[in-house]
Amino acid sequence: NDNYTITLASPGTGTLTIDPRAVPIKANDAAPIVYGTEAPTIFSYTLTGNFVGGDEADFAATLSYSIGAPMNGDGFLDVGSYPITPSWTYSNGNYAITLATPKGTLTVTQRPVTVTVNNAGSIHYADPTPSFTWSIVTGSFVGSDQANFSAGVSFQLTPNATPPLPVGSYTISLVGYTN
């Protein structure tokens, strides 16, 4: 246009900066497991940002997870709630991948076990008191837990009596155990 004299200022160029795309990741809460069940190693996750093209599949292939607690002596997580933390080895400068909060949670619930005291049969007056026993009705113990339970169990007769036991019927109760 003849009405203007246009001169390009030095340096005559503009700048466009492209920053990495923010992609916060959060491990989702896992379905609860019962004590004695092997802890999962793969969890689901939620992204607050998004990847472009096939980059999410490349990222997901490098994901691993850790649970914020050590395994007990039997190789299981004790009852409780544990944070799930994702980690990754994906390296692509186009993304700023961060951990979102709160972390996901894995909950370990109590394992149900029902036990009963076995009948001791019949003895005669002044006979030695028999050994009392118990057995599992439903459920099961894990690893060394049954031995630990057995070591902590004692029995009580009601009404309370000391040998030689007077003639009569007695209720045998399980005492001295803890959950």
- Residues 45-68: what's their mean pLDDT? 92
Residue 114's contacts (CB-CB under 8 Å, 6 or more residues apart) are 136, 137, 138, 139
CA atoms of 157 and 171, how far apart (whole Å): 6
pTM exceeds 0.95, yes or no: no
54-63 pLDDT, tens digit per residue, is 999 999 999 9
161-175 pLDDT, tens digit per residue, is 888 889 999 999 998
Encoding tokens for residue 8?
């390009």
pLDDT band of 10, cuts 50, 70, 90: confident
132-168 pLDDT, tens digit per residue, is 999 999 999 999 899 888 888 899 999 988 888 899 9
